[in-house]
Amino acid sequence: MRVFFIGFGQAGGKIVDMFIEQDKKLPKRSFRGIAVNTARTDLMGLKHIEMKDRILIGQTVVKGHGVGTDNVTGAKITADEIDVIISAIDQRGTHDVDAFVIIAGLGGGTGSGGAPVLARHLKRIYREPVYALGILPAPEEGRLYTYNAARSLSTLVKETDNTFLFDNSAWKNEGESIKSAFMRLNDEIVRRFGVLFRAGEITKAGVGEMVVDSSEIINTLRGQGISTVGYAITEVVSNTHRQRRGFLGLLKDRVVKKEKSEEVLLGEDKSAKIIALVRRAMLGRLTLPCDYTSAQRALVLVAGPPDELDRKGVEKAKSWVEENIAGVEVRGGDYPVESNYIAAVVVLATIQNAPRIKELMEIAKETKEDVMKVKDRKPTMLLDDDIEPLFE
Ligand X SMILES: Nc1nc2c(ncn2[C@@H]2O[C@H](COP(=O)(O)OP(=O)(O)OP(=O)(O)O)[C@@H](O)[C@H]2O)c(=O)[nH]1
Among 1, 2, 4, 10, binds Mg ion (CB under 5 A): 10
> Smallest Cα–Cα separation from 130: which of 150, 156, 110?
156
Residue 100 backbone phi and psi in degrees, to 5: -105, 140
Among 66, 113, 129, 313, binds Mg ion (CB under 5 A): 66
Among 41, 50, 59, 68, binds ligand X (CB under 6 A): 68
**Helix/strand/coil for 49:** coil
The alpha carbon dihedral of 364, 370, 371, 373 has a sign of positive
* Cβ closest to ligand X, residue 184 vs residue 312: 184
185 sits near Mg ion (criterion: CB under 5 A): no
Residue type, 8: F
As a whole number of angstroms, the distance between CA 227 and CA 320 comes to 19
362-391 residues near ligand X, rule: CB under 6 A: none
186 sits near ligand X (criterion: CB under 6 A): yes
Dihedral-angle region of residue 15 (phi above 0 means left; psi in -120 to 50 means alpha; beta otherwise): alpha
**Residue 132: other Cβ atoms inside 10 A:** 30
**Residue 219: other Cβ atoms inside 10 A:** 16
Closest approach, Cβ 114 to Mg ion, in A, equals 11
116 sits near Mg ion (criterion: CB under 5 A): no
Structural element, H or E, at residue 32: strand 31-37
Among 31, 100, 131, 145, binds ligand X (CB under 6 A): 145
* Cβ closest to ligand X, residue 84 vs residue 248: 84
107 sits near ligand X (criterion: CB under 6 A): yes
Closest approach, Cβ 22 to ligand X, in A, equals 15
Closest approach, Cβ 270 to ligand X, in A, equals 35
Residue 231 binds what, of Mg ion, ligand X, none (CB under 5 to 8 Å, by partner type)? none
Closest approach, Cβ 203 to Mg ion, in A, equals 36
**Stretch of residues binding ligand X (CB under 6 A), selected from 85-93, 105-113, 209-217, 307-315:** 105-113
Among 178, 237, 266, 326, binds ligand X (CB under 6 A): 178
As a whole number of angstroms, the distance between CA 158 and CA 35 comes to 23
105 sits near ligand X (criterion: CB under 6 A): yes
**CA distances, 309 to each of 211, 270, 323, 356 (Å):** 10, 8, 22, 35
182 sits near ligand X (criterion: CB under 6 A): yes
- Torsion angle (degrees, nearest 10) of CA 352, 355, 360, 361: 50
The angle formed by the CA atoms of residues 152, 153 and 159, to the nearest 5 degrees, is: 90
Number of residues that bind ligand X (CB under 6 A): 27
Among 108, 134, 225, 333, binds ligand X (CB under 6 A): 108
Would you tell me which residues interact with ligand X (CB under 6 A)? Answer: 9-11, 14, 38-39, 42, 66-69, 105, 107-112, 135, 137, 141, 145, 168, 178, 182, 185-186
Would you tell me which residues interact with Mg ion (CB under 5 A)? Answer: 10, 39, 66
